[in-house]
Structure 1
Amino acid sequence: MALRDFFISLSENEAISTAAQNYGFKLGAQHIVAGANLQEVIESVRTLNEQGIACTIDNLGEFVTEEATAIQAKDEILALIEAIHSEQLNAHISLKPSQLGLDIDIDFCYDNLHEIVEHANECGIFVNFDMEDSPRLQMTFDMLKELQKSFNNVGTVIQAYLHRAKGDIENFKDSRLRVVKGAYKESEEIAYQDQLEIDINFLELIEYHLTHGLFTSIATHDHNIINHVKYFVEQYNIPKEKFEFQLLYGFRKDLQVELAREGYQVCVYVPYGEDWYGYFMRLLAERPQNINLVTKRVFNKKTNTVLAVAAGAFVLGRLTKRK
């Protein structure tokens, strides 16, 4: 847990995050982020589509405190929806409500989300609300419920480390859901702290939604979980059209292609933009084993993996001070 907390604390360091936006792509962020702008991410998605792999695209950004920044993010997402539609890509949208003003004013955020979901609905595109930390949890669920009164193209994420997750997945069983383990720092009163407990709950949530829910996105690179799901859906005669394996851009490309060739639906989570650092650190916090997958791409391959992450944070911090 100490290593997990370390990565989460780095994800919340504003100085390092600012430096990452300026220097990240020079340090190798392009290996885990599909581009700095809309044109670049569209090319990346097209390449994945040609391999029979769908995408969910995330315009990176979160915890916005200025209305102008939130409106800029909304406009970027609207342009992304238009590009997916015009290019006829096999892709949908993932977004974070805090990027669209949740921390400013909930009504302001809801209006931005409504505009995005409405335009996506007109274009036949699904929108997924990425779930954030616990103070933002219920507000996001409440806005989702309100939007679902008018639209059926919106869903969200259930985080397996939260004690309340079973109730939430039952509450949203008629929604398309992505099931994840969870990557924010939460207290033991709110969340499981033991990785085994999280894994057990993760599998129970997946099984529940596969048998009771609308559509399940299973977000994992874990072979054991993937193999368990394969066996489970075969035993319960669950059609492959009711679920997908969702993996991260830049990770386990061999596994992505392998699953697609086996006839499973595969979706790659494709982030883009300059604000990549918080995403990167929570990626490591969610599953520390990801260190081996990430650092060999982003940092020097000859560097010890744990030291590489710390060194990267130190370098970015030094660059910030020089500015």
Structure 2
Amino acid sequence: MNLDLVYRQAVLSVAGNPRVEALIKGRARSLVRRYVAGETLEEALRAAEALEAQGVHAILDLLGEMVRSEEEARAFQEGILVLVRALAEKPWPKYVSVKPTQLGLDLSEGLALELLRGILREAEPKGVFVRLDMEDSPRVEATLRLYKALREEGFSGVGVVLQSYLFRTEKDLLDLLPYRPNLRLVKGAYREPQEVAFQDKRLIDAEYLHLGKLALREGLYVAFATHDPRLIAEVKRYTEAFGIPKTAFEFQLLYGVRPEAQRRLAQEGYTVRAYVPYGKDWYPYLSRRIAERPENLLLVLRSLLGG
């Protein structure tokens, strides 16, 4: 039995219960502050500035996903445009992440493309890079179509994400090669059935390294998004052994997770970015963080017991 998988699926299942959601939203604020910069853009920018002082760059993400109306999707687009304009005034690297369902993908692929196009038209001239996040497996195909459409329209300041736990990912990577994508590689944080995803952590890790090395050999710029010390060490060993410069890849970690490792990697000369989420729609994001690490569940329980 894969205990990691059992734990993750159990947490994600329980987190979907409305009563559990209400309880955590009401009483686990201390844990939220550990992983979420705040509910406002001003708080997120302060967190980003603090990271920059430590040599770590920030990826700003206005939290939100799976909107239910066009009005809500357009409101999120405006919030992201406000973020883009604020970043344009900053002297440090400018980088945002967006989720397709935040911009109406579940309502209409055309709507999501329209709103993404509007974001990129403002972001690219301001030097703001936009990462198109990847969500759960039913939405992968549409997300890849959005990315390809944007690239075919001439947008270059946009990146994509692939997840190593999905069986389909190597084929997706090969299909993307003509676009020379700026790639973020993750293991995957959603609850996926055994028909579409590896269920064994060892296989997911092995596939992660296989895909990352394949992308590097193909000359792609790769953002290795992981906190696993073994995977980070292997990426460092592989790139050093084959003379791949530090400018050809980077490491990405989550805000509030292993900050000492983030600073150490930056001091070693690697490009390091911390994913800095903010906004009021933080519960789905927090649920996935709890599902990733049993220690986080203990923090939740302490928050609940302590009020």
Same fold (TM > 0.5): yes
Superposition pairs of residues 37-56 of structure 1, within 5 angstroms: 37-56=40-59
1:226 aligns with 2:232: yes
The residue type equivalent to 1:135 in the other structure is P
Structure 1 consecutive aligned stretches of length 4 or more whose deviation exceeds 6 Å: none
Match of 1:320 in 2: none
SS in 2 for 1:275: coil
Q: 2:207 aligns with which of 184, 201, 210?
A: 201
The letter of the residue matching 1:85 is A
2:286 corresponds in structure 1 to 280
Partner residue in 1 for 2:162: 158
Of 90, 105, 108, the residue aligned with 1:105 is 108
In structure 2, the partner of 1:93 is: 96
Q: Which residue in the other structure is 2:36 paired with? A: 33
Q: What residue number does 1:321 align with?
A: none
Q: Structure 1 residues 184 and 85 mapped into 2: Cα distance closer, same or farther (>3 Å)?
A: same
2:173 corresponds to: 169
Letter in 1 for 2:8: R
3-state SS in 1 of match to 2:89: helix
Q: What does 1:1-80 correspond to in 2, within 5 Å?
A: 1-14=5-18, 16-17=20-21, 20=24, 24-25=28-29, 27-80=30-83
Residues 255 and 298 (structure 1 numbering): CA distance in 2 closer, same or farther, change over 3 Å? farther
Structure 1: gaps of 5 or more residues: 301-307, 317-323
Task: Find the residue that maps to 2:166 and give its secondary structure.
Answer: coil
**Residue aligning to 1:319:** none
Q: Secondary structure at the match of 1:83?
A: helix
After superposition, the CA RMSD in angstroms is 2.0
Deviation for aligned residue 1:297: 5.5
Length, aligned pairs only: 300
CA 1:74–1:23: 2 relative to 1, 3 Å: farther
Deviations 1:178-197 (A, max 9, x none): 10001112222211111111
Alignment match of 2:190 (pick from 181, 184, 196): 184
Asked whether the equivalents of residues 162 and 183 of structure 2 are also in contact (C-alpha less than 8 Å), the reply is yes
1:135-170 superposed Cα distances (whole Å, 9 cap, x missing partner): 111111001100001201111110000001111112
User: 2:272 maps to which residue?
Assistant: 266
| Unmatched runs of 5 consecutive residues or more in structure 2 | none
TM-score of the superposition, structure 1-length normalised? Answer: 0.87
Query: Per the alignment, do residues 34 and 106 of structure 1 end up closer, same or farther by CA in structure 2, a change over 3 Å counting?
Result: same
1:23 CA drift (Å): 5.4
- 2:86 maps to 83
- Return closer, same or farther for 1:119/1:59 CA change in 2, 3 Å cut-off: same
